[in-house]
Amino acid sequence: TKGNVLYAILPRWPGKQITIQNTLAKQVSLLGAPANLKFKNEKGNVTITLPDLPEELLAQPSWSLKITQ
């Protein structure tokens, strides 16, 4: 965390969605991607809809989400 921003590092690509517990979001982005991601706050958790990635990006060692709270 840095201020009101939480960075989630994904060591593997989780597929279509990921839920981060005990976190609420105002904005979510995938670092390096041009657009914000869709998400839903529910019961103290945030569920993030992830984009489809091309094969060459799936080979990356990790990905980072920026979650503004």
Q: Which are the contacts of 44, defined by CB distance < 8 A and separation ≥ 6?
A: 21, 22, 23, 24
Q: What integer pLDDT is reported at residue 53 of this predicted model?
A: 84
What are 2-36's pLDDT values in tens digits? 789 999 999 999 999 999 999 999 999 999 888 89
Q: What integer pLDDT is reported at residue 29 of this predicted model?
A: 96
What is d(CA 67, CA 18) in angstroms, rounded to the nearest whole number? 12
What are 28-61's pLDDT values in tens digits? 999 988 889 999 999 999 999 999 888 888 888 9
Q: What is the pTM of this model?
A: 0.88
Helix (H) or strand (E) holding 55: helix 55-58
Q: What integer pLDDT is reported at residue 18 of this predicted model?
A: 97
